[in-house]
Amino acid sequence: MTKAYLKYRTRITILSSLILLGWVILAVRLFQIQIIDGNDYRIQGKRQAQVKVTLPATRGTIYDRKGLALTSNIIHYSIGVHPTKIEDQDSLADFLSQLTGKSPQHYLSRLESEKPFIYLERNLLNQECESLLDKQFAGVVVEKQISRNYPHQNIASQTLGFIDVDGKGIAGVELKYDRFLKGEAGWVIKSANGLGKTQREVSYPLNQPANGADIYLTIDLEYQTLLQEELIRRIEETGARSASGILMNPQDGSILAMASVPDYDPGAPGLYPVENQKNRVITDQFEPGSTYKIVCATAALDLNTVAIDEEFNCEGGKYSFAGKIIQDWENFGLLNFSQIIEQSSNVGIIKIAERIGANSLYRYSRDYGFGALTNIGLVGETSGILRNTPDWTAISLAELSIGYEVGVTALQLTCAFATIANGGILMKPRIIDRIVSQDGVVIYSDRPEVVRKVADQSVMHALSGMLTKAVATGTGMKARIPGWSIAGKTGTAQKFSNGHYSKSNYISNFAGFFPADNPQIVGVFVLDEPNIGYHWGGIGAAPLFKRIVQRIINLDDDLLLVTAQQSDNQPSEIPIPKTELTPRPTESLVALSTVALVTQSVRNTKNCTIPDIRGMSLRKALKTIRVAGLIPKFQGSGTVAWQSPKPGLIVSPNSTCVIGLK
Amino acid sequence: MTQLNQIWKNYDRMLIITVLLLAVVGMVMLYSASSIWAYNHYDTGTYFLQKQVLRLAIALLIMYGFMRLDYRHLKDWANIILIVSVVLLIATKMIYFLQHNPAPARWIHLGPLSLQTSDIARLSLIIYLSAYINKKRQKLEDFYFGFLPAVVVIALILGLIIIQPDFSTAAIIGVIGFTILFLGGARLPHIVVTITSAITILIPVMLMEPYRRARILSFFNPAADTGGSSYQVQQSLISLGNGGLFGLGLGNSMEKNLFLPTPHTDFIFSIIGEETGFIGVIIVLTLFLIAFQRGIKIAKNATDPFSILLALGIAFSFILYAFINTAVISNLLPTTGLPMPLISYGGSGLVLNLAGIGILLNISRKDQPSKRSNRWFS
């Protein structure tokens, strides 16, 4: 230590101590960060070095009953770039040009852009885009989007509904069964660096998405298509505001087709009025008019109040009930019960209603399911209006018997006619057949379900006979198809508006089933405010039944066969307890499906009858022969000109049937 | 060989070893911290390393030069040196101004080497103040004739650096300047009054700049916004925490994986903390402490106030940068933008720090000619 230094010693010691203190403070601080709180920071660090990327689940597909897809998912790719960050413009341009067929120059010029980010391509459908993801071009962003597509556009649109941009169901089945369809998104942990570039690491956890389940509807795409075509055609012809229709299998309650037009395209719902999204067959109620007369008729038959041939004086078509004049469309004199239905006499049915009384009319209305939800499992269903007898006025009995003062949906009406068709069992309508998860497990199935027995089979048989006559010779003649027995009832109702029944606005409707002796299809058609002339149910709505059923007959070989063979194969009667008004949980009634029974019976018979296939197309003929249990051989082309053995011959199964075509 | 032998015998060995160790640690960690950033921006992982090795070579040459230069000449040249550095500060500002360069006017380009004029000014001021105090001796206690002229010189230098603008460097040079005055025997009340009034004047200036305000505000709440100024600090803390006691091992830092922006400059010490752990940072801090202690040792053996104050000034300046940098990366101080001596990437600090160390070593020289010779180098 020098003398000079001694002079400064004190202050140097102070500085020295301060430096030492600084060292201690820093050491303590670093110890705190690195050792004491180290774990917290490590967790923070891990969190930012890993990104959780969601893997979207693919939405389930909705199928028709034959497994035809009504929806599809399309994967789009959008390619964006940060032009300034592109390192190798040429190879990127070449790659994209191979992908899209556009010239590399097109891309090179776009890459010159000075914007921070531009899209080069949007909504590319090309799968190759996936490889762009792997190539890891610097500055390129590939976005993958899955969009919902409705390949049949307007077909079944009100049933299907649609989804919003976030993939959430907004209407229809897409909304109601969203939780099944949407699946569950998965995720993957990727490593990330400070620039946000992510990379998949094999050791990082991955949770694969659970794709949505598929839904099989009872809807038949072909039936649905022709239903909608015919409804549109009828609107054009009749000037109706809207038209709706349902086709149902009366044996198990399956909805085969269901629509109201005008409709919309679920792929572009915004282009149509919101009104069009409504599934009017379940959301709209109307006063049906004469189609409702079946309720009174069922009660009269079931309670044995009126015999089928009992005659009533129809008072020349004018009858005063509780001070109100009720008129018929024709000045009927004496009509028996059956004729009253056939000719749809208001006076006649009111006289029958007077006999059965208000309580019975109400009870059978309830039994048929009017005034209650059908629980079809779609959104927006209304229960309609059916007031209980204490709320009835003096003329309610008469009004109800002819289908006024009651609000029904087309679906309720369909269910009621299906009850007549299947021999007295009210089936719960079903539109969801089953929901199948991606691994093929049925996770939900809507089995055919009996709601209650409404009346005995004999009663329904008798009523069915009346309805058959109504089509054959009565008001429903426009629904007649030569060679087929069809049961049906027309309905013409004045619309109630502004406090009174309108003289110009009508609901024209028709409900029927086919074939009358072993019903396979129930059809209900409703025209809202058709032009006068078409306002009659028998004129406006009845032709819809004829046209649609005729097209179905031409379309469906199976249906033809079943009806040709069915006569001896009535479904065996299953004892069903006549239930109270409140529906009970009921056993499944699959066996009611005649289709299954018939095909089975054909296969099991020892001997087969050679069917008459002359005049059929080759396709139809081959199918007919096979279903009959025979082996076809054919020669020539065209339609079937001859066949051997002759039709009607009884042969052993698996015999050969040779057919010649010309 | 004889030269090396002579150095080994006559110079402060411990200081040489410490400084060289720090330089080696600096190079290794610089490579580790910068390689990913370099690869991302320049396609080669050694981009920064290559440049820094070249700078280290130049800096070591300069250090050797100062080791051989009789430091006592600096006393006579102190005024000239100060004037030159003031001229450089003004000239730099002028050049930036004339070139319409909006960047802070900090750099002067001398061939392959770019120097911060404030670094030059720092060393110049240490030399000047040591010489000044040496001349004034007891008169320093006189406010008007001893203390105030020194303060005016300090204020001039600081003012020129503040207008660059570079507030942090100005502040740290201010601290060094006043510390030398303190060591030199200035009266404490003078120092306290001067510093208090300086701070009163400078606080509004400091808060004028939005980025500086943001840094200071974020210092008080580093987690508040991870995107802005505190983002670096937050990443720095994560980095240190990641290191734990022993570190993740060389080259294993996760933070340098582009989370911490430019990890090879001001925040390189956090990467050291991440890769070598608490043990590593303590060793580095201790090396700085040793270097400072050697400075005091050298001062103890010095015979005149100039040598003592010069030695202390250089040693203090060296460790002060290291401590402030550590305080910043551990969030004890707001972000300053001050580098870690010998370790952070950059040539200016490296050259001027090693030049200072060279002077310090020259002071420690045992075979110093007893009288100042006319030969400058020996």
List pLDDT tens digits, range B286-311.
999 999 999 999 999 888 899 999 99
Which residues in B lie closer than 8 A to residue A49 (C-beta atoms)?
Answer: 254, 257, 259
- Residue A217's pLDDT is what? 94
* Average pLDDT, integer, range A85-104: 79
Of B255, B289, B309, the CB nearest to A45: B255
SS3 content of chain A, % helix, strand, coil (to 5): 40, 25, 35
User: What is the tens place of the pLDDT at every residue in B147-161?
Assistant: 999 999 999 999 999
In Å, how far are A299, A316, B99 from A576, measured between CA atoms? 18, 42, 101
Q: Which has more pLDDT, A522 or A620? A: A522
Contact B368, B375 (CB under 8 A): no
Q: What is this structure's pTM? A: 0.60
Of the listed ranges A88-92, A366-370, A462-466, B22-26, the one predicted with least confidence: A88-92
Specify burial of residue A114 (Cβ count, 10 A radius: 0-12, 13-18, 19+).
exposed
* Average pLDDT, integer, range B159-169: 87
Angstroms from B300 CA to nearest CA on chain A: 5
User: What is the tens place of the pLDDT at every residue in A582-614?
Assistant: 333 333 333 333 333 333 333 344 567 777 787
* Average pLDDT, integer, range A3-29: 91
- Residue B229's pLDDT is what? 53
* Average pLDDT, integer, range A284-297: 93
> Does A580 have pLDDT greater than 70?
no
User: What is the tens place of the pLDDT at every residue in A126-159?
Assistant: 666 666 665 566 677 777 777 888 989 899 999 9
Q: Which pLDDT band holds residue B346 (cuts at 50, 70, 90)? A: confident
- Residue A54's pLDDT is what? 78
Q: How far apart are CA A331 and CA A345, in angstroms?
A: 9
Q: Copy the structure tokens of residue A654.
A: 């698996």
> Does A570 have pLDDT greater than 50?
no
CB pairs under 8 A between A and B: 133
- Residue A81's pLDDT is what? 81
Most confident segment among A77-86, A241-250, A558-567, A578-587:
A241-250
Return the DSSP state at A473: T
- Residue B210's pLDDT is what? 74
AA identity, residue A560: L
Angstroms from A24 CA to nearest CA on chain B: 10
- Residue A103's pLDDT is what? 84
User: What is the tens place of the pLDDT at every residue in A601-648?
Assistant: 333 445 677 777 877 777 777 777 777 777 777 776 677 777 777 777
**Mean pLDDT, chain B, as a whole number?**
86
Q: Which pLDDT band holds residue A22 (cuts at 50, 70, 90)? A: very high
Angstroms from B41 CA to nearest CA on chain A: 11
Angstroms from B92 CA to nearest CA on chain A: 33
* Average pLDDT, integer, range A153-168: 88
Q: Is A103 on the interface with B (CB under 8 A)?
A: no
Q: Which has more pLDDT, A106 or A422? A: A422
Contact partners, residue B118, CB within 8 Å, separation at least 6: B89, B106, B161, B164, B166, B169, B170, B173
- Determine, for residues B278 and A31 on separate chains, whether the beta-carbon distance falls below 8 Å: yes
Q: Which has more pLDDT, A122 or A387? A: A387
**Mean pLDDT, chain A, as a whole number?**
83
Q: How far apart are CA A430 and CA A412, in angstroms?
A: 12
Contact partners, residue A585, CB within 8 Å, separation at least 6: none
* Average pLDDT, integer, range A508-529: 93
| B264, B290, B326: best to mutate for the A interface, most A CBs within 10 A | B326
Specify burial of residue A97 (Cβ count, 10 A radius: 0-12, 13-18, 19+).
middle
Most confident segment among A38-42, A136-140, B355-359:
B355-359
Which residues in A lie closer than 8 A to residue B293 (C-beta atoms)?
Answer: 16
Which residues in A lie closer than 8 A to residue B259 (C-beta atoms)?
Answer: 45, 48-49, 193-194
Q: Is A113 on the interface with B (CB under 8 A)?
A: no
| B188, B330, B340, B364: best to mutate for the A interface, most A CBs within 10 A | B330
Q: Give SS3 for A320.
A: strand
Q: Does A262 sit behind a cis peptide bond, omega within 30 degrees of 0 on the bond before it?
A: yes
Q: How far apart are CA B16 and CA A436, in angstroms?
A: 79
The span from the first CA to the last CA of chain B, in angstroms, equals 16
Contact partners, residue A52, CB within 8 Å, separation at least 6: A187, A188, A189
User: What is the tens place of the pLDDT at every residue in B221-243?
Assistant: 655 544 445 778 888 888 889 88
Contact A433, A217 (CB under 8 A): yes
User: What is the per-residue DSSP string for A517-573?
Assistant: TS--EEEEEEEESPPTTTTSIIIIIHHHHHHHHHHHHHH-HHHHHHHHHGGG-PPPP
Specify burial of residue A508 (Cβ count, 10 A radius: 0-12, 13-18, 19+).
buried
Specify burial of residue A200 (Cβ count, 10 A radius: 0-12, 13-18, 19+).
exposed
- Determine, for residues B257 and A49 on separate chains, whether the beta-carbon distance falls below 8 Å: yes
Contact partners, residue A301, CB within 8 Å, separation at least 6: A308, A455, A459, A462, A463
- Residue A576's pLDDT is what? 44
Of A4, A11, A45, the CB nearest to B183: A11
> Does A175 have pLDDT greater than 50?
yes
- Residue A567's pLDDT is what? 38
